[in-house]
Structure 1
């Protein structure tokens, strides 16, 4: 979707999407594999899975890293430079989270930082291959950032509700569910409002469709927020909450 929003004549290099997908998988999996080494980590289903299959997952990560490095040979220099900078920042973040104690104040930056890294990877890998970035692209990237933050904050709140032992330190435990609920409402309002603003101010039909699909993404997360009892069953909120990031495929 980020690629299609750019109307430049020169296409975005084909390897960009594949390398980005591999790197996201690597970061997520390594983060979990390091988490399960902590003695105070809660035994959630996903952490139990990563602990049980750690040897296999480390080999899968190594294979994904090797494939990503191989594909990076064909990437433009601008993407490689951007990726190196973002990769160092992500690696520093993962190392910091692994070494800090369970309730260190720096861990409160987890939700906004991960949302920022994710958004930067998706949109930045496209933008560094363009001579300029339009205001519409900036608007849609900021909408995407709000959705990513909404997703992570929602997960933190629902994790707080489903855990019977001491909850993991996060913005949900620091701010409390009520303040987080209000913030997520405002994020939905801003994304939906921005979507309608884009639709009424631009003539590009694809930009209009992509703005609307992002509004739907935010609204789906809002529905999960409003009905936690239903979506906590069998961790439905995880499947559907992360599944919203597949919705942009509908407008391609």
Structure 2
């Protein structure tokens, strides 16, 4: 969606493969280091189901992460120079992030930046890798990129809220515990409102039909996450919120 909206046609074939591989590597290594950190610190927070899975399959997941990283590095030789330079900046940023999270104490205040930082890095990877392949970026691109950033943060904050509701007796250290559930719900409502209002504004301002459709899809993505927030009891069962919450990022396929 970002490629079509930004009029990068065709986007270099290796771009989505490298992006997907690196998202897998960063997510997997982050979880594996979390498990190692929890194992080293007896006073740390309890293991979630995701962390337990990574602990139980750590040797296999480390091998998969290394293989994915090697394949991604090999594919970078096919990418345009602008994407390689951007990827190096993103790679260094992600390495600093993962290393810092691993080294800091479990309840260090800086770790409260984890949700917004992950949202920024994810959005930058998706939209930035496309934008560097074109000479200029329109204001519609920027607005929809910011809408995507809001949705990414909404997704992560929603997960933090749901995790606290899952284990209220042993809450995980996150923005949900620092801000409180009421404040988080208020922030989630405002994020939804801003994304939806931005979607309608683009429909009235933009003349490009695809820009209008993509804006409405971003609005629907945000509303879907808001629906999960409104009915936590249902979406907490079998961790429905987790796989449904992440699946919203596949919804843009419907407008391609």
1:228 matched to 2:232:
yes
8 Å CA contact retained: 2:45, 2:170:
no
Superposed CA offset, 1:155-208 (max 9, x none): 001100101542221110000000010010000000000000001111111111
Looking at structure 2, the residues matched to 96 and 179 of structure 1 have their Cα atoms a distance apart, in angstroms, of: 27
User: 202, 207, 210: which one pairs with 2:211?
Assistant: 207
Task: Specify the alignment match of 2:30 in structure 1.
Answer: 31
8 Å CA contact retained: 1:172, 1:180:
yes
User: 156, 160, 172: which one pairs with 2:160?
Assistant: 156
8 Å CA contact retained: 2:86, 2:132:
yes
Superposed CA offset, 1:107-142 (max 9, x none): 010010000000000000001111000000001000
Looking at structure 2, the residues matched to 120 and 200 of structure 1 have their Cα atoms a distance apart, in angstroms, of: 26
Aligned residues: 251
Superposed CA offset, 1:23-49 (max 9, x none): 000000000000111232422211111
Task: Specify the alignment match of 1:114 in structure 2.
Answer: 118
8 Å CA contact retained: 2:35, 2:54:
yes
Task: Specify the alignment match of 1:5 in structure 2.
Answer: 5
List runs of 5+ in structure 2 lacking aligned partners: none
Alignment map for 1:128-167 (pairs within 5 Å):
128-167=132-171
1:73 matched to 2:72:
no
Bigger CA drift: 101-110 or 32-41?
32-41
User: 242, 248, 253: which one pairs with 1:244?
Assistant: 248
Q: How far apart are residue 102 of structure 1 and its match? A: 1.2
Task: Specify the alignment match of 2:189 in structure 1.
Answer: 185
Q: Secondary structure in 1 aligned to 2:7?
A: coil
8 Å CA contact retained: 1:13, 1:75:
yes
8 Å CA contact retained: 1:160, 1:168:
yes
**In angstroms, what is the RMSD of aligned CA positions?**
1.0
Looking at structure 2, the residues matched to 225 and 98 of structure 1 have their Cα atoms a distance apart, in angstroms, of: 30
Looking at structure 1, the residues matched to 7 and 150 of structure 2 have their Cα atoms a distance apart, in angstroms, of: 24
Normalised by the size of structure 2, how large is the TM-score? 0.96
Deviating 4+ runs (over 2 angstroms): none
Looking at structure 2, the residues matched to 164 and 139 of structure 1 have their Cα atoms a distance apart, in angstroms, of: 37
